[in-house]
Structures are given as C-alpha cells and as structure tokens.
Amino acid sequence: MKFGLFGINTGPCSEPDTMLAVATLAEEAGIESVWTGEHVVLPDPQVPPSPAPPLMNMCHPSTALAFIASATEKIRLATGITLLAQRNAVVLAKEMASLDFLSKGRLIFGIGAGYLKQEFDALGVNFAERGARTDEYIDVMRELWTSDAPAASGRFVKFSGIQSRPRPATPGGPPIVVGGTSGAAFRRAITKCQGWYGFAMDFDAAAACIDAIRQASGRHERPGSLGELEISITPRGPTTPEDVARWTEMGVDRLVLLQPGRDREALLDYVRQVADTLVK
C-alpha cells in the first residue's frame, strides 16, 4: 500500500513554513505523496455542495507543489484534484509539464470535471460543458506533451504549427488520475487515465465505485499504453492497520489520508503517527 497526505496546500497547512515542515517530514517518514485540493473561488456564504468555508486558505496547487519540490527530493507531488474544465488547456499543459520537469518526474496529475456552478460562473466557463471540456483537454495536454508536431482541432481547442517546451520529465507525461463517482468519470478512468481517485469514502461507497469501474471496463476499451488502472482512496475518518488490510483486499493501491491537525504541531504529530502505525 502507498500512503499519501491530502490537503498540503489548505487550511493550517497553507502557511509556508508549515507546508514545508509537513512535506519534508512526510518524505523522511516514507510517505509516498502529498496531495493538494483546489477551488479557485468558494461560494460566500457557504452553501451545499461547497466543501469549505469561503475564507479558508487554499494555495494554488502547482505553486504549492513547486514550492515543496524545491525542498524535497523524492516525495511525489499530486494535484487532488485540478479542475480541468475551468482552465485553458494549452496553458495548463505548460504549467504541469514545467512542474513535472522541475521536480524531475514527481508529478501525479489528479483531475476532475468540477461540481460548483458558482465557481464556473465566476470564471466565465459554461458549467454544462465541463464533461466535454475535460475529455478534450486530456487529449490536448497529452498531444502537447508528446507530439513532435502538436495539433488539435476539437470543439474547444484548435492549434497547429506550435511547440511547447520543456516536455515533462515523465515519458508520455505525468500519470493522470481522475476523480468523480459518475458514469462519465468511470468511463474517463478506463479510457483516458492511469488512475481513479475516490475522496472521503467509507468501505461501502468505495466498494460500489470499484465495482462500477469494473463494470465500465467491460463496456469501454482501455488503451494498453495506460497500463493497469491504479485505485486511490481518501478514507472517511481515521485509518487503522486493520483498515489498511481491508483496503488492500478491496484492490486499493494508495490511501491518501486526510490530515486532522489544526495547527503545525498537530499536523506534524499526525505524520509521525502515520509513519509509526501504517507505513512499514
């Protein structure tokens, strides 16, 4: 089992010294990855389904991960998740290629279509088109990362006669991990991504999603270049060694643990606890 930490850029962990202290201790402790959350804006006042109060700090994912990359050597750097449909695909391809290049191939590119309409409205992006944009943008970004003569002629992105360098350090580009529990997300995981990510799930919810992914794999062809689909889960609530065994039996490859600490010392204590009880 691989272990990650979620929320390296949010709340108390968004403070620069705390962010680096947690990330460097996690690397020393053998934790595989740190994961960011992302919302460009949050509704004010908070209303469902908004996940956080409007004044909560949430640093830009690639900015935070580049900051961490400069102070670490091997811990993987994951966006969990980047809201792909809200971005300009060409700019984001450059941003993520640069992060992977500068971190020497440590990026895990977690993506999702998004679900807060207020956020899309603030950005001037059509909420109803988010799924179609997400599918097209994945292809566009891989085209820019891998093609010697990149070109696109889609519904949302058109270009030719350009280059975008540096390419990612990871051959073919960083692994793409998609979040979401819709049929479209499961289809996307099978046909376009190296992994799937389920956030804040109990065993029953995760098992239902894993079963749905298996069913989707019977309906959609998976390109051989993507390899075996990797399953990452953020469990809801505390995780015990017995829980890890159960997650492993279910076919989960990575647990991305929510950090419960409310200040720097509590966050660091949690990393030590994870190292002592879960990381073997």
Cα 105 to the center of its chain, rounded Å? 15
**DSSP letter string over 49-66?**
T--S-TT--B--HHHHHH
- The whole-model pTM stands at 0.98
What is the Cα–Cα distance from 170 to 175, expressed in whole angstroms? 8
Domain extent at residue 181: 2-277
Give the CATH number for residue 213: 3.20.20.30
Each residue's pLDDT tens digit in the chain (280 positions)?
999 999 999 999 999 999 999 999 999 999 999 999 999 999 999 999 999 999 999 999 999 999 999 999 999 999 999 999 999 999 999 999 999 999 999 999 999 999 999 999 999 999 999 999 999 999 999 999 999 999 999 999 999 999 999 999 999 999 999 999 999 999 999 999 999 999 999 999 999 999 999 999 999 999 999 999 999 999 999 999 999 999 999 999 999 999 999 999 999 999 999 999 999 7
| Overall number of domains in the chain | 1
What is the Cα–Cα distance from 81 to 61, expressed in whole angstroms? 9
Nearest to 135 by CA among 94, 79, 97, 180: 180
